[in-house]
């Protein structure tokens, strides 16, 4: 007996259905089944996760997925979600596991900030006719620039990476997502002059051609970390934490470790890939410095080294330490950041919003005269170009996007990444599912998204009478809060609308 109720109802329009069976062939969750005796199509509502693969694939659009009408007695406290979760745990004794980012209704500060525009006194600029710069350089910047008598640069510049737009693809490992999904993002990054991130899963040999667009990650499991991996990158990123699961590590289950994943991570076939919660060679800022410099030594000081942390209560003090430890880039990942799998309670309750963490970190680095020593990259759920624009106005140099990039690749946010059954061929290693994702088509879609957002950023800049993203960075006067209290405004460092 299963105490759980179905969440969704599969409605098949009999007038439209031609019984082609495509839905049944496509559904890895077995929500559509062909009755072996009658050959009739049937639906198993209990198995449906609302990924909408059947809806999109159905040639006659005969399928609708609805929220199931089956309901518990209304109760603002004991919601259906909590009742279902308790039953799941009573069935299994397991720690609840979820995919994707925190879906709970916490405040979204991007939606409480509004942008400025020029009127009369400071004319706006039309990016269609006038140059508009969104190029971004990430890496440490020197205290000052010295030139010789002929105006040539004397100062030795720390390694910087030129991005054509302030948007990069965030870390998603081969293992958590498919190789086709990684290929799509890598090709899109190359086409748009930006970077993708390998996550902690090594760099598959098929992606070596994208080395100039790769951020390679070094995390606690050190999977796939070797000399070629470090060399075939533009940036090396030390992963301390992730917004979706601050303070804990990761277990890529052995069932997802097939031949290719095993080769890329350089680990045995079918064994769990365990990333411990801490790096066991880092217990302090001094130890972090040691790892940063070991990577710099190994790559002859040619590449910026980034340190990624989850946004937590004392991020500002930690970021100050990271800057002093010699990192070139600090990545801050907010609590709404996505994941291939995270314990549900951690995902939904640990960490803080990126908006507040970013403002606090930028402010702290400025007050300690450290801001030029590091670039600040924000991550943790950018849903559109305006969110990104606001992050840069608060103080970010660039942002990482991941969930939105996956939506461009077909993701419908069903939050089942951890099951490895992704019908869109994204968060799965099953060959039959992975081949559904065409890397060429999806690379174009991901690149389209970046181009569109970059253009929107230019429009917003132009509207403010600004012609370079550098003039927006940390320009909090361009932001006004709506419906925020004094404390929130003071942390964000912005005025209220009307002020």
Partner 1 sequence: MTVTAGLKHHKELNEELKAAFAKAKSVTLKDVNGQRYIGCGVRGDYKIDIYGTPGNDLAAYMDGLTINVNGNVQDAAGNTMNNGTIIIHGRAGDALGYAMRNGAIYVETDVGYRCGIHMKEYKDAKPAIVIGGCAGAFLGEYMAGGTLVLLGLNRKNDDSLVGSYFGTGMHGGVIYVRGNVPEHRLAKEVTSFECSGEDMEQIARYVKNYCTYFGVSYDEVMSEKFLRISPRSKRPYGDMYAHI
Please report, as ranges, the residues that interact with partner 1 according to CB under 8 A: 84-85, 88-89, 91-98, 220-222, 225-227, 230, 251, 253-254, 262-263, 266-268, 270-274, 276, 280-281, 290, 293-294, 297-299, 301, 343-344, 416, 418-419
What SS3 class is residue 17? coil
Question: Judged by CB, which is closer to partner 1: 13, or 89?
Answer: 89
Q: Which is nearer to partner 1, 122 or 294 (CB)?
A: 294
Pick the closer one to partner 1 by CB: 79 or 294. Answer: 294
Hey, what are 298's tokens?
């190994």
- Look up residue 72 and give its DSSP letter: P
Q: How many CB atoms lie within 10 A of CB 195?
A: 26
Q: How far is the CB of 93 from partner 1 (least distance, A)?
A: 8
Min dist. Cβ of residue 311 to partner 1 (A): 25
CA count, 13 A, side-chain hemisphere, 478:
24
| CA 426/CA 441 separation, integer angstroms | 14
Q: Which is nearer to partner 1, 20 or 86 (CB)?
A: 86
Shortest distance in whole angstroms from residue 416 CB to partner 1: 8
Contact, 190 vs 169, CB < 8 A? no
Please tell me what DSSP assigns to residue 213.
G
Show the CA angle centred on residue 243, arms to residues 111 and 274, nearest 5°.
Answer: 160
CB of 31 to partner 1, least distance (A): 15
> Which of 213, 220 has the CB closer to partner 1?
220
- Read off φ and ψ for residue 60, nearest 5 degrees: -110, 10
User: Looking up tokens 């051609």, which residue turns up?
Assistant: 209
Least Å distance between CB 424 and partner 1?
Answer: 18
Closest to partner 1 by CB, 298 or 491: 298
Instruction: Give 382: exposed, middle or buried? Use CB within 10 Å, 0-12, 13-18, 19+.
Output: buried
As a whole number of angstroms, the distance between CA 18 and CA 275 comes to 48
What is the closest distance, in whole angstroms, from the C-beta atom of residue 347 to partner 1 in the complex? 11
Q: Environment class of residue 325 by beta-carbon count within 10 Å: exposed (0-12), middle (13-18) or buried (19+)?
A: buried
Cβ distance 383 to 63 under 8 Å? Answer: no
In the bound state with partner 1, the residue whose beta carbon lies nearer, of 160 and 419, is: 419
**Least distance in angstroms from the C-beta of 50 to partner 1:** 13
Whether 329 and 235 have beta carbons less than 8 Å apart is answered as yes
Give the residue with the Cβ less far from partner 1, 422 or 447: 422
Q: How far is the CB of 254 from partner 1 (least distance, A)?
A: 5
Q: What are phi and psi of 177, to 5 degrees?
A: -120, 165
């Amino acid at each position: 007996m299963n105490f759980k109720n179905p969440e969704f109802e599969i409605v098949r329009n009999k007038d439209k259905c031609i019984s082609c069976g495509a839905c049944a062939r496509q559904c890895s969750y077995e929500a559509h089944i062909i009755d072996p005796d009658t050959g009739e199509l049937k639906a198993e509502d209990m198995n449906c996760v609302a990924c909408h693969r059947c809806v999109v694939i159905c040639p006659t659009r005969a399928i609708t997925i609805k929220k199931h009408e089956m309901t518990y007695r209304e109760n603002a406290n004991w919601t259906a979600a909590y009742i279902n979760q308790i039953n799941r745990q009573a069935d299994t004794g397991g720690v609840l596991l979820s995919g994707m980012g925190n879906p709970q209704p916490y405040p979204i500060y991007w939606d409480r900030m509004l942008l400025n525009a020029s009127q009369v006194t400071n004319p706006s600029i039309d990016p269609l006719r006038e140059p508009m710069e969104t190029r971004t350089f990430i890496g440490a910047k020197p205290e000052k620039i010295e030139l010789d008598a002929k105006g040539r640069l004397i100062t030795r510049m720390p390694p910087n990476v030129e991005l054509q737009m302030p948007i990069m693809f965030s870390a998603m490992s081969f293992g958590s997502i498919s190789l086709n999904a990684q290929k799509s993002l890598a090709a899109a990054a190359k086409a748009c002059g930006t970077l993708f991130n390998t996550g902690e899963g090594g760099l598959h040999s098929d992606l070596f051609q994208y080395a100039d667009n790769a951020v390679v990650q070094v995390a606690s499991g050190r999977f796939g970390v070797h000399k070629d991996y470090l060399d075939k990158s533009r940036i090396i990123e030390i992963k301390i934490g992730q917004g979706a699961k601050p303070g804990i590590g990761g277990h890529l289950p052995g069932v997802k470790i097939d031949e290719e994943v095993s080769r890329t991570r350089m680990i045995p076939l079918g064994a769990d890939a365990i990333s411990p919660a801490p790096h066991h060679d880092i217990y302090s800022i001094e130890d972090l410095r040691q790892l940063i410099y070991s990577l710099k030594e190994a790559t002859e000081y040619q590449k910026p080294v980034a340190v990624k942390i989850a946004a937590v209560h004392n991020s500002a003090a930690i970021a100050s330490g990271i800057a002093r430890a010699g990192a070139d880039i600090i990545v801050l990942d907010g609590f709404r950041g996505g994941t291939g799998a995270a314990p549900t309670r951690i995902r939904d309750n640990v960490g803080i919003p990126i908006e507040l963490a970013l403002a606090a970190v930028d402010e702290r680095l400025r007050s300690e005269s450290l801001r030029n020593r590091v670039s600040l990259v924000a991550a943790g759920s950018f849903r559109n170009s305006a969110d990104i624009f606001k992050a840069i106005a608060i103080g970010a140099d660039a942002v990482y996007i991941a969930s939105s990039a996956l939506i461009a690749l077909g993701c419908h946010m069903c939050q089942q990444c951890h099951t490895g059954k992704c019908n869109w061929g994204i968060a799965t290693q099953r060959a039959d599912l992975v081949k559904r994702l065409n890397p060429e088509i999806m690379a174009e879609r991901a690149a389209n998204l970046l181009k569109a957002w970059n253009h929107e950023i230019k429009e917003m800049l132009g509207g403010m009478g600004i012609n370079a993203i550098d003039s927006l960075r940390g320009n909090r006067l361009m932001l006004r809060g709506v419906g925020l209290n004094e404390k929130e405004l003071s942390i964000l460092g912005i005025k209220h609308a009307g002020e």
